[in-house]
Homo-oligomer: A and B are copies of this chain.
Amino acid sequence: MGRTGIRTALKVDLNKPAWEQKGLHNRWHPDVPACGKIANNEVVKIECLDWTGGQIQNNDSADDVKDVDLTQIHYLSGPFDIEHAEPGDVLLVEIQDVQPFEDQPWGFTGIFEPQNGGGFLDELYPKAAKAIWDFEGIFCSSRHIPHVRFAGLIHPGILGCAPSPEVLAEWNRREGELIATNTTGRDVAKPPEPKNVHAGSADEDIKAKVGREGARTVPGRPEHGGNCDIKNLSRGSKVYLPVHVSGAKFSVGDLHFSQGDGEISFCGAIEMAGVITLKFTVIKDGMAKMAMKSPIFHPGPVEPQFGPGRYLTFEGFSVDENGKQHYLDATIAYRQTCLRVIEYLRRYGYDDYQIYLLLSCAPVQGHIAGLVDIPNACTTIGVPMDIFDFDIRPEVDVVKMDMGSCAFAGP
């Protein structure tokens, strides 16, 4: 009667290669075989690898970030067949808990080189860099970014149900079109990639098909969510997910101890391996009832609260660093906003890379302030002042400190 613990629906082995574990996969495809069944209304624990499947080490070099293999990332736990779920239903997933593994109380944030992953500010900051974060209960701190400590807003970076063949085809069509018309000189999307595909327990034929057709897990996508990286999706949140295939084929992974709005360094959150506790409830015919085209979220009542007066807010506009005016471009504006924060915080002795890492993973609030006053979009970033152990208010004199260094790659 309530006495027993919660079933663990999937265990992962941190000492075994991800591609040998049948409960993991790294592409979105309807044919990846289910690795288990979950009953309607059931609560289960699911173990997850970190985002890179264990490629990053707890050390003081960013060589591992520089050399990360991006065909191998995002080993998701699943897919799971959810009892009664059929296309057109909505799968209500309640995130009851997220925890790092007890014996691995640390995570990492990385900045990738433009030629291997890149990031939001990679034209200005092209070097690979890394910060290791130690977890202390709900808090984390890093030897690579001193004088900072904050409570994590722990959450899964990726969760969603498998696409139907039709949805998958649409993804490949539109992203293929973007790639085909790309003139930017940089990757604009990741097409299907047979190399290093992992399709769980699929046989060779299915695996080959998943390799040819399967959607990469890098972006979130409107039809199912996926890598949406919403930092407030923490303990106590409910997520309403569209179901596209029979059984839903739900997958989850890419756990974050914390993240800032924008997740700007690409590997921007504090990435970790861990365990997530989820409750599943099927809402029959929910997509029509809720007029749902994309997932809807209902955050929980528990998150770090700093008080409205404990943020320092920076603004940026769609005029780039070369003085070029862009038309209502919120992406450009957000980049400028990031730079304003870097300029402000570097006065205390931080290296720009340290701040770039911090902006990616600390609970900063990135808002769209204005999007209609031509030609300038305006965005803001609210930096919670209480994550620093010194006083960053503008009225307090700046004392430059020895801030050490984050981890860089070797020469």
Residues of A within 8 A of B (CB): 1-6, 43, 58-59, 92, 94-97, 102-106, 118-120, 132, 134, 136-139, 143, 151, 170, 174-175, 177-178, 184, 187-190, 218-222, 225, 227-232, 235-236, 240, 261-266, 268, 277, 279, 283, 289-317, 319, 323-331, 334, 336, 340, 343-344, 346-347, 365-380, 382, 386, 391, 393-394, 398
**Nearest Cβ on chain B to A345's Cβ, whole angstroms:** 9
B368 near A367 with CB under 8 A, answer yes
B301 in contact with A308 (CB, 8 Å) = yes
Minimum Cβ distance to chain B for residue A190 (Å)? 7
Task: Tell me if B330 and A334 are in contact (CB < 8 A).
Answer: yes
Q: Which of B227, B297, B319, B336 interacts with A313 by CB under 8 Å?
A: B297
What are the residues of chain B within 8 A of A263 when measuring CB–CB? 369-373
Task: Point out the residues of chain B lying under 8 angstroms from A386, CB to CB.
Answer: 301, 307, 309-310
- When distances are taken between beta carbons in the complex, the residues of chain B under 8 Å from A382 are 299
Of B2, B189, B232, B379, the residue contacting A58 (CB under 8 A) is B2
Q: Would A371 and B328 count as touching, CB distance under 8 A? A: no
CA distance A386 to B300 in the complex (A): 11
For A323, give the chain B residue with the smallest CB separation. B174
Q: Is the CB of B380 within 8 A of A137?
A: no
A282 to chain B, nearest CB (A): 13
Distance A175 CA – B325 CA, assembled complex (angstroms): 6
Complex contact A220–B317 (CB within 8 A)? yes
CA distance A323 to B14 in the complex (A): 40
Copies of this chain, complex-wide, total: 4
**Residue of B58, B264, B290, B298 touching A371 (CB-CB under 8 A):** B264
Residues of B within 8 A of A139 (CB): 96, 236
Output the least CB separation between A269 and chain B (Å): 10
Most buried by B among A221, A264, A326, A368: A368
Closest to A339 in B: B293
Question: Are B228 and A375 interface neighbours, CB within 8 A?
Answer: no
Contact assessment for A229 and B378 in the assembled complex, using a CB-CB cutoff below 8 Å: yes
A306 to B309, CA, bound (A): 7
* CB contact under 8 A between A1 and B307, given known A228-B369, A261-B368, A315-B294: no
Q: Are B261 and A177 in contact (CB under 8 A)?
A: no
On whether the beta carbons of A369 and B137 are closer than 8 Å, the reply is no
Q: Of the candidates B151, B266, B292, B373, which one forms a contact with A301 in the assembled complex, judged by CB atoms under 8 Å apart?
A: B151
Query: Closest Cβ of chain B: how far from A104's Cβ, in Å?
Result: 7
CB-defined contacts of A236 to chain B, threshold 8 Å: 137-139, 151, 309
The docked-state distance in angstroms from the alpha carbon of A344 to that of B286 is: 12
Q: Are the CB atoms of A105 and B295 closer together than 8 Å?
A: no
Of the candidates A4, A227, A376, the one having the most CB atoms from chain B within 10 angstroms of its own CB is A376
Q: How far is the CA of A231 from the CA of B372 in the complex (A)?
A: 14
- Smallest CB separation, A177 vs chain B (Å): 6
The CA of A174 and the CA of B327, in the complex, are separated in Å by 11
Q: Are A369 and B302 in contact (CB under 8 A)?
A: no
Query: Nearest Cβ in chain B — how far from A41, in angstroms?
Result: 11
Point out the residue from B106, B229, B336 that lies within 8 Å of A222, measured CB to CB: B336
B309–A298 CB distance below 8 A: yes
Q: How far does the alpha carbon of A301 sit from the alpha carbon of B136 in the complex, in Å?
A: 14
Kindly list chain B residues whose C-beta atoms are within 8 Å of the C-beta of A5. 102-105
